Structure 1
Amino acid sequence: MASKQWTSSALLMWLLAAERVYSAPVTSSAPFTEKTQYPPTTEARILAPGTQGFYPTQLEREGHPWKPTPTGLPYATPHTDPAQSDPESPWGLDGVWDTLDHPEQVPDHLLSFLIPGFGAIASGQAPSSVPVSAYTPAAATATPSSATPSEDQVTTHDAPTSTTSAHTKPTASASSSASQTTVSSTLVSSGTSTTSSTSTSDTSHSDISTTLSVAQSSVTPMSGGQDVFVPLATGPVPQTISVRNDHPVPKKGIETVTTPIETNKFYSGLFLGSQSNTTFTHPYGLAWAKGSGNAGSWGMAIAHNEVNVVANGPTNANIPGNPIQYYVNPIAIQHMILSATELTSSTELTAENLLPFSADAVLKPSSGSSQRITIPLVQGMGYVTGMYTNLQPLIQSSVFFTKLVTAAQPRVGIWKYKVTLADQTSWLVYAIPQDGKDPDFRLESNSNLRGPQGWSGTIQITKNPAGDSGEKLFDGSAGVFALEAAVSGSVQDRTGTYSLSFAKAGNKVQDTPLMMYALPHHVASFDETTKNRMTSITLRSTTKGNATAVVGETWSMVEPDLPTTMGFAPWSASSGSANSLSAAAQKVILDVAPTELNQSVDQQSNLNSMYYSGKALSKFATIVYTVNKLGGNPSLSATALQDLKTAFARFIDNKQQFPLVYDNVWKGVVSSASYGGDSGADFGNTYYNDHHFHYGYFIHAAAIIGQLDPSWLTAANKDWINMLVRDAGNSAANDPYFPFSRAFDWFHGHSWAKGLFESFDGKDEESTSEDTMFAYAIKMWGQTIGDASMEARGNLMLGILRRSLHNYFLMESDNKNQPENFIANKVTGILFENKVDHTTYFGNNLEYIQGIHMLPLLPSSAFVRSQNFVREEWNALFADTATTPASGVTGGWKGVLYANLAIIDPASAWNFFAQSGFDYSSIDGGASRVWYLAYAAG
């Protein structure tokens, strides 16, 4: 990677992002009334489209500057910590980055969440159906009852004698009604709705835990099929793994949490580095303002960016269609902000209730204060909700208010305000006071909407893109919000089903339906019941097309045609598994096999990298399997199999160059390499980067060894491999040693590779093929050890990956979710939560960018990489008539390209690998000619 190139790019983007303002008249003749409030000024500053915020486009500054490459390219390392960059600069251009050569790299609450009951990750139980409180989009558009005032009326409702709902954390004491908060929450499952309302001294999640316990008896297993979330044993790690309590990354704002923490999930910006990086819930992004922006706020900023503010990279003339290299959403636009007058420079941000699909961001005026705003962050949440305790609410905007209307109450106890910002976007604000009294919010300036002092209650904010019809739909769900979520799933025959269930809290929670946003891959797989709950409201997500608002507490998705019969043999969509090869193909394979069988697996796996070591073990296991089963000559591979088991024992005994350690801070098994100070050692494994890649290769190799020699499946060997599964893809939510599903995101439908590195653009993933490899590896390991749940989970993950990769990463010409001027790249390159960049962390060669989405070529490759996609990609980029013909590529990537060609043209792929005088330099160190021949022949 050329750092100079990136520096010039960053300077250009900084110039584009420099603030430009112009004035626009505001109708100043309108009175400043309770009904229609204009800012008390005759002008409003409007930021020109695309000029507010900044665009972090330097990959070297993303905190994940390492990526595997078969060709041994150098990678970039920082001389300064990205977290220390100037937050006011577009990308902290003060930092110094060099390209260095590293040749040695080449060859407390989690336990109570989802206790048996809700989503039943721990117990394997899940709801089979969920009522929607008789709420439908049509019902939402009905005329309000006569008891509801019209917008022309300005009505203050007195507090009811008894309050049925409130939503904030209690403050001083239980005896003070002004400081005591009652949380109403519900869990809906198996056609029943269980509601609990309790006073609590913690956030409303403690009530949810009570509800989950109550609901346990009413939850029934999914009808038929194999539950995919039956936990592995949750005991300690093997004794060969030592424990360390000194991870190099400190926990900020979560110091008291002692349970496993999700390191690779969407909300890690709350506790990493500056704590001001965006949490992308989709469609909204939230970030601690920390005194920045036009409003100078210390609250939680909310952003939703339309396409007009997206910055596009340069076009690439070497790719047909001249697609742009990247697109990136601006960072730090503060459309709306949940704040309070008490929040100043002493404000503290903490993160609580860190769960697989949610976390609570808590803002307090100072450490130890009982005053707080608790903001539940749940993937897909329809409203941004702040639960206030004894504070003076301050709703702010750095984009500036131009108009505010005090609107009719959608229900008793909920006050509503309609906001227009200077960028002409429309937002709705709902205030639900604990005492039931009119909060009488007043617009006091272009940036400040102020509420009453000492206020407790809930404020919800949502963007309304759909005019009056959208407003009625939002009114119908106002007052309730998601607190947590859980996933359940099963596989029956070749069909997989999975559900996302949301626990909700709020005003009249049992009677009010929840509204959440679904991504395109959800919508495409919804069952009929869930599909009927979709609304007409859509909002753009940052990198995954439009999100659609859906009503209901549970979504159910169906994935048909799972590869349940796929094994270790080559597989195709048309023919299935090729468990036998022709005699002619066998002869060629057995003739060339000794060349690779006689290589030293001990030397190739005895490395200072878990990644490269795992690739070597997986490669040799595949060679042995090919010769033994597909070539029909077990004796020829017998010595190599024994050598493979001996090499594998080094890792099970934990005697590799950098032994694994159990990190007791974040809770996981990591390489000890970075404890010496180099955060980039082994691609950041110690920092939880890429665990599904690294450990997936070991799991795959073990699955093959165990099938070829069942006697190898001793308790010690199985426990060590299961430890890797638990670390990267745990099926249990109550495991005290590992978090649930560290890598795979069951909301997004794919994994995130970035671990404990602060990043303006959020999590990312570069290698979809290695993501697929992990799912395939646990499928086959489950098959090998007779764990039907693990095998089914791998099959379901593969089905979900096929759909999500088709929608977001592997772009066919009719792709609807990526920008039209980007699709010709065919693959996304690196997909972040906030941007997509057609590049890699290790170089810009086209074969690198496309190839990292191909390797390793396994039976699962043809399942997720459709023939139509492979054909489009090959013809556009690597055919003899293309700008980068595969025939002219050098090094290990050449073999990757031709092996991938076997998906659509096995004859040509076979001819390449079977040619006389074959050049072995075209084989990646993690692949083999033997397997590629079998793959093409199958």
Structure 2
Amino acid sequence: MLSSNIFSGPIATDAPPASIGSRKDHPVPRLGIAAAAPIQTNKFYANFFLGNQTAPTYLHPYSVFWAGAKDTSGSWGMAISHIDANQRVYGSETNPVTGTPRYYINPVGISSICISAKELGSTTAVTSDALTAFSARIILRASLQGASVIEFPLVQGSAFVTAVFNGACPLIQTGIFYKTVTRSTKEARPGITKYKLYLEDGTTWLLYAHHTKGDPLDLQIINNGLAQAKGPFYGVIQVAKDPGNADSMYDRTCGVYATDVELSGSAHGEKGTYTFNFKKAGMNLTTTLAMFALPHHQTSFDDQTRDKMTDVKLQTTTKGIAIAVVADSWTMVEPSLPVSIGFVPWLPEAGSISNISSTNKTFIHNIAQQEMKQDILAQTDQPSMYFAGKALAKFAVLIMAIHDILGDNNLAQAGLERLKQAFARFAENKQQYPLVYESAWGGVVSTASYANGNASSDFGNTYYNDHHFHYGYFIYCAAVIGHLDPSWIAANKAYVNMFVRDIANPSPQDKFFPVSRSFDWYHGHSWAHGLIETGDGKDQESSSEDSMHAYAIKMWGNVSGDKKMEARGNLMLAIQARSFPMYYLYTKTNNVQPPNFIGNKVAGILFENKIDHLTYFGPQPEEIEGIHMLPLLPHTPYIRARDFVEEEWNTYFANGRAENIVGGWRGIVYANRATFDPKGAYAFFSTPGFDPSWLDGGASLTWYLCYSAGM
């Protein structure tokens, strides 16, 4: 029972363990960053300091990008775009099973409105500071060493794109071209000038300006692509798209803007809440903010927040319809935290299940004895943190099943000692590519890319790709060891907590790691994409491994006695259980994604700007669907609901198609089947002469049998 703020206080504040080396350099330069490490690596604004700094940043509902004179407007300022559903582009390639489009994507590079200044030109430099888990401030300068010309505070969900001027001469440009520009004869609010910008594509944009000194904003139309102020401007310019009914809402909320979000939360039994307290700035701080909420927010708002929802709606790129909420804080409620999920199989209607029939137990015990003959040290000796973590987790779940379900303590204890030895190799940092704490960005990374110069080594771990996947497996393994031997925890706690801090640090008081590197509390899921520029924004390919990392954090918090950590893990799982059916896992009743796309059943790779029913490693249905299944753990039925799993099975694997799957994906698909047909799954895994090649390298036959027998 934790009614106090579960996000208050750090996990730890000391340096990573002495076994972890340190270095000050990183392959990716910190372009224009005016902030000290730790720096966020996986957040929405990273394109502003990666590559050529011109790739879009997705705010939902808007996107922004530094035009760099490369767009149709010829601007050196900040371009603003919003895409409606009718602009969405579907790929001509279709899903061979369902006939649905393989992907949809939103156009990029459309400069509806650009906020710039006469002082910006070919020497313009883009810098950034105030980089938090929810926000960034992007600064356009006349030169790298020059003074700030325009500052853009960016917060996800902002109703306005806001620009702060300190004496520069504003240019309001467009790559779409103006049809008409009108200045309202009446101020929107005292001290706020209002313009309506009608574009040739039929859209209407509103511009609000309040001056802090000097003259009000007075725009002159130079041509159909440029409106220019008559002189220097001190104050704030805000731009918003009007979907047709937003005029009055924008009028009463202009003049202030969000600068950051303070996250707080509590857990009381099965009820969890989390609150976004928006920090704001502007002309009159008694003015209430307008912010856009995504579908999973809308369905979880408490009564007070729900009452502040408006009827103003804008399309987002991949998250359905966003609705404007006029409130300085939002509170979301999750009424069913998975507090009862432990280490053994679990069902929503039955809870944890550790008892199976004696007949099944005898059969499975024979399998377990054979699996325990495998060489744990050899299988976990990998050049990849990802594959090493999967192997450790495989033996952890096997040993846990032997102890907690089969009841063979002696066999479990023998395996546990070997698992501890395997884990110790990593705790001592003696694996093939040791980890290092690098202080340029602030995090623990593989030395693989340092050693071979290949950015894609270990899926880009050195570049902060997939850390929650990789380290989640290690955290889960540690939780199992601690569950079976609590005396092991003390000596290994700092090492395991290092992984949690790297991916899920809750507090800015921890000066070694950024806050919540992986999980995006606005989007309701994590982003796997690290320090590599991408035109379609951050992405994630495995929703199930995302949920695995939350489950691992929950269980490590449980065994290590960190109740706040456990509560945060429970809350993340509850949010994922709400958001995944909207954004990743589609039943026929999904009303968030395009109706002609939900037949794919899973997203594939979810980007901020597109969804591609594919993987980075293969095009087969079992690969695309399966990467959203593994690993199968007790929380799986909580995240992957029975109706979804059955629909997915019938779409891709029923009528004998699963029997044609080659390799370990067959085992993954059948293990997933246990959610709605445990007898069918058990029959497959107990088949005489079961082929071990049907098991993925991170899978245990003993566990699959225990899981399906228990279910």
Classify the TM-score, shorter chain: over 0.9
Report the equivalent of 1:601.
376
* 8 Å CA contact retained: 1:313, 1:324: yes
Moved more, 311-320 or 739-748: 311-320
Q: 2:663 aligns with which of 881, 891, 902?
A: 891
Report the equivalent of 1:112.
none
- For residue 249 of structure 2, what is the amino acid of its counterpart? L
Q: Does 2:408 match 1:629?
A: no
Shift of 1:653: 0.4
Q: 1:681 aligns with which of 438, 449, 457?
A: 457
Map 1:121-520 → 2, pairs under 5 A = 224=3, 227-254=6-33, 256-316=34-94, 318-320=96-98, 322-407=99-184, 408-435=186-213, 437-467=215-245, 470-510=246-286, 512-520=287-295
CA distance in 2, matches of 1:348, 1:317: 44
Determine helix, strand or coil for the equivalent of 2:449: helix
Shift of 1:367: 2.5
CA distance in 1, matches of 2:194, 2:315: 24
- For residue 129 of structure 2, what is the amino acid of its counterpart? E
Relative to structure 1, the CA distance from residue 691 to residue 587 in structure 2 (aligned partners, 3 Å threshold; closer, same or farther) is same
Report the equivalent of 2:487.
711
* 8 Å CA contact retained: 1:614, 1:695: yes
Shift of 1:239: 0.6
* 8 Å CA contact retained: 2:221, 2:228: yes
Shift of 1:373: 0.3
CA distance in 1, matches of 2:108, 2:5: 43
Number of residue pairs the alignment of both structures matches: 708
Determine helix, strand or coil for the equivalent of 1:674: helix
Q: Does 2:578 match 1:803?
A: yes
Relative to structure 1, the CA distance from residue 895 to residue 223 in structure 2 (aligned partners, 3 Å threshold; closer, same or farther) is closer
CA distance in 1, matches of 2:482, 2:331: 35
Determine helix, strand or coil for the equivalent of 1:525: coil
Shift of 1:315: 4.9
Determine helix, strand or coil for the equivalent of 2:275: strand
Relative to structure 1, the CA distance from residue 650 to residue 371 in structure 2 (aligned partners, 3 Å threshold; closer, same or farther) is closer
Report the equivalent of 1:739.
514
Determine helix, strand or coil for the equivalent of 1:444: strand
- For residue 327 of structure 1, what is the amino acid of its counterpart? Y
TM-score (structure 1 length as normaliser) = 0.75
Shift of 1:710: 1.3
* 8 Å CA contact retained: 2:403, 2:412: yes
CA distance in 2, matches of 1:710, 1:440: 70
Map 1:738-817 → 2, pairs under 5 A = 738-817=513-592
Shift of 1:590: 0.3
Determine helix, strand or coil for the equivalent of 1:917: coil
* 8 Å CA contact retained: 1:598, 1:640: no
CA distance in 1, matches of 2:4, 2:431: 41
Shift of 1:411: 1.5
Determine helix, strand or coil for the equivalent of 1:714: helix
* 8 Å CA contact retained: 1:229, 1:793: no
Shift of 1:763: 0.3
- For residue 706 of structure 1, what is the amino acid of its counterpart? G
Q: 2:642 aligns with which of 846, 863, 867?
A: 867
Shift of 1:457: 1.2
- For residue 192 of structure 2, what is the amino acid of its counterpart? I
Shift of 1:370: 2.5
Relative to structure 1, the CA distance from residue 732 to residue 438 in structure 2 (aligned partners, 3 Å threshold; closer, same or farther) is closer
- For residue 708 of structure 1, what is the amino acid of its counterpart? L
**Greater gyration radius:** 1
TM-score (structure 2 length as normaliser) = 0.98
* 8 Å CA contact retained: 1:295, 1:398: yes
* 8 Å CA contact retained: 1:319, 1:824: no
Deviations 1:824-852 (A, max 9, x none): 00000000000000000001001000000
- For residue 239 of structure 2, what is the amino acid of its counterpart? I
* 8 Å CA contact retained: 1:371, 1:390: no
CA distance in 1, matches of 2:709, 2:8: 36
Shift of 1:619: 0.5
Q: Does 2:304 match 1:536?
A: no
Relative to structure 1, the CA distance from residue 798 to residue 229 in structure 2 (aligned partners, 3 Å threshold; closer, same or farther) is farther
Q: Does 2:671 match 1:914?
A: no
Shift of 1:435: 2.1
Shift of 1:229: 4.3
Computed over aligned residues only, the root mean square deviation of the Cα atoms, in angstroms, reads 1.2
Determine helix, strand or coil for the equivalent of 2:104: strand
Determine helix, strand or coil for the equivalent of 1:258: coil
Determine helix, strand or coil for the equivalent of 1:404: strand
Shift of 1:593: 0.8
Q: 1:618 aligns with which of 377, 393, 399?
A: 393
